Structures are given as structure tokens and as C-alpha cells.
Amino acid sequence: APRLGALARDLGVVALRFSGKGHGGEAPGVLLHEDSLGVSLAFEPGVFVQANREMNAVLVETATVAAGGGGRFVEVYAGAGNFTVHLGARFDRGQALESDRRAVSALRHNVAARPGRVEVLRERDARSAGRLSSSAPADLLLADPPRAGMRALEPIWREAPPGRIVMVSCHPMAAVRDLKALARAGYRLEEVVAVDMFPGTHHLEIVATLSR
């Protein structure tokens, strides 16, 4: 196990698991670290982070440049803060929403270590949609949904439409469905960028930028 742990560190692998036991920093209370376009993100073992470090830099840069800057942003499915730590520096204030307890803990830690006024809330997407749809529209909504897509968020753009939406999708067909719904709600698709996060497979990450 110590030799495998040393090899993992040399190769940039943050954690190993075999025969039910974790190695390479997977002890309770130990934080792992991953790079997000030059920013170190801390997270507990088991919290989702992107597997391809080099292409994650492309993904983050594409999404944050598309997001621009302004007064207030809302990010849904924020995870450990892969995009949040950069949005916090571009907007006057913002809210980052995530449902997973461990991810929220990491998100709060990572946001606190960076400049910006970002409120972190632990909420499921349906509750987030209900609350945000009854509040003032944000300048930006950034969403990095699971494979099911953004259907649960539709009340937001129907009742409190953000000026700009950046969608990061890991499922192209779900993305097409979501883009159709956004077009019906009055959004215009400005740009779609495909990021080959998993070379040699059919999986793609898509960054779509829309405005009203």
C-alpha cells in the first residue's frame, strides 16, 4: 500500500481505493486537493471533482469567460466550488447552491479562502428553484447539472429570468432538451463549446451560453 500511495502521488492521482480500503489521503478528516485553473480546491474523499485536470482548466476558463461579470450571480449544483471560486472574483456578490453535505462543507471552505461575497446554501434543486423564482432575477445563472439536466430549475427562468445563463452539461441529449426549453422561455443561444473531457469515449462536456 505505501508503494501504491507513492506511485499515486507521482502520477497526480488524489486517492486510491481497493479491497474496501482507501489509500493516498483517504483517511477520515483528511482533505484532498485538486486544481481549478490555478486555484487549489480542498475536498473530502468521495466529493465529486473532474477527473481530467488539463481539460478541467479549459472547462472552467470557458465557463467563467462566458459568465462575464456584474452585480449578482447564482450558481446551482456548485459542488466543491470548481466555478464558484472564480465567479466570486467576477461579481459583486453571489449565491452558490449545492445539496450534497460533504460538497457543501468543501464549498464553504474553498469560498472562504478566496475574495468575494458568496453565500453558500445547502438546498436541493427543487427547493432552490422555488425560492429563486420568487426573488429578484440574477444577472447570471450558472448551472452544472447532473445527467438528468436542468428540468427542475425551469421555474427560475419562467418567473425570475436571469439576464444570462451558462449551462455546463455532461449529457448532450439532456442539454438539447434544456436548450429547447430555454429557447421557448425567450433565451437566445449565443455559443456552444464542446470540451473533450474524456478522450477516446463518446462523452463530452458542453458549455452553452444564453441571453435574453
72-106 CB burial, b ≥16 within 10 A, e <16:
bbbbbbbbbbbbbbbbbebbeebbbbbbbeebbbb
What is the rounded distance in angstroms from the CA atom of residue 70 to the CA atom of residue 195? 26
| Residue in 121, 103, 120, 100 with CA at minimum distance from that of residue 111 | 120
The β-bridge relationship of strands 70-76 and 140-143 is: parallel
Query: Could you give the CA distance from residue 81 to residue 49 in angstroms, rounded to a whole number?
Result: 9
Say if residue 193 is exposed, middle or buried (CB neighbours under 10 Å; 0-12, 13-18, 19+).
middle
Catalytic residue among 143, 153, 170, 175: 170
Query: Is residue 171 helix, strand or coil?
Result: coil
Instruction: Report the alpha-carbon distance of residue 46 to residue 26 in Å, rounded.
Output: 9
Is 170 marked active-site? yes
CA distance 204 to 164: 23
Q: Give the DSSP H or E segment for 159.
A: helix 154-159
**Residues tagged active-site:** 170
